Homo-oligomer: A and B are copies of this chain.
Amino acid sequence: MTMKNIETLRWVGGTDGYLQLIDQTMLPVEFSEIECRNVETVWEAIKMLRVRGAPAIGIAAAYGVCIGLQTVAGHDETSLFKRLDEVADYLAGSRPTAVNLFWALDRMKARATELRGRVPAEIAEALLAEARAIHEEDRRTCRAIGRHGAELLSDGQGVLTHCNAGGLATAEYGTALAVLFAAAESGKKLHVYADETRPLMQGARLTTWELQQRGIDVTLVCDSAAAQVMREGRVQAVITGADRIAANGDVANKIGTYGLAISAAAHDIPFYVAAPVSTFDRSIATGEEIPIEQRDGREITHGFGRQTAPEGIDVYNPAFDVTPARLIAAIICEHGVIRPVTQERIDSRLRLRNGH
Question: Hey, which bits of chain A sit against chain B, CB under 8 A?
Answer: 1, 28-29, 193, 195-199, 201, 204-205, 208-209, 212, 217-229, 231, 255-256, 258-259, 262-263, 265-266, 297, 300-301, 303-310, 312-318, 321-322
Complex: A250 Cα to B304 Cα, angstroms: 35
Chain B: minimal CB distance from A162 (Å) = 8
A219 to B256, CA, bound (A): 17
Q: Is the CB of A314 within 8 A of B220?
A: yes
User: In the complex, which residues of chain B have a beta carbon less than 8 angstroms from the beta carbon of A201?
Assistant: 308-309
A204 to chain B: which residues have CB within 8 Å?
300-301, 308-309
Chain B residues lying within 8 Å of A315, measured Cβ to Cβ, are 219-221
14 inter-chain pairs at a CB distance below 8 angstroms, sorted by A residue, are: A28-B307, A204-B300, A208-B310, A221-B315, A221-B316, A221-B317, A222-B300, A224-B256, A259-B263, A262-B266, A266-B266, A303-B304, A305-B305, A305-B306
Structural contact, A256 and B301, CB atoms closer than 8 A: no
Known: A208-B313, A300-B204, A310-B208. A259 touches B199 (CB 8 A): no
Q: How many copies does the complex hold?
A: 2
A262-B266, A313-B218 in contact; A255/B225 too (CB < 8 A)? Answer: yes
Judged by DSSP, the binding face of A is mixed
In the complex the two chains form, what is the Cα distance from A316 to B194 in whole Å? 10
Residue from the list B198, B231, B317 in contact with A258, Cβ < 8 A = B231
CB distance from A229 to the nearest CB of B (A): 7
Chain B residues with Cβ below 8 Å from A228 are 255, 258-259, 318, 321-322
The 5 closest A-B pairs by CB, nearest first: A304-B304, A224-B256, A227-B259, A228-B321, A28-B310
Give A201's nearest chain B residue, CB to CB.
B308
In whole angstroms, how far apart are the Cα atoms of A255 and B228 in the complex?
A: 8
**Are A304 and B306 within 8 A (Cβ)?**
yes
Contact B222 A256, beta carbon cutoff 8 Å: yes
A309 & B196 in contact (Cβ 8 Å cutoff): yes
Whether the Cβ atoms of B222 and A223 lie closer than 8 Å is: yes
A13 and B265 CA atoms in complex are apart in Å by 56
A305-B308 CB under 8 A given contacts A224-B255, A318-B228: no
Report the separation of the CA atoms of residues A38 and B229 in the bound assembly, to the nearest whole angstrom: 39
A227 — which chain B residues lie within 8 A by C-beta? 256, 258-259, 262, 321
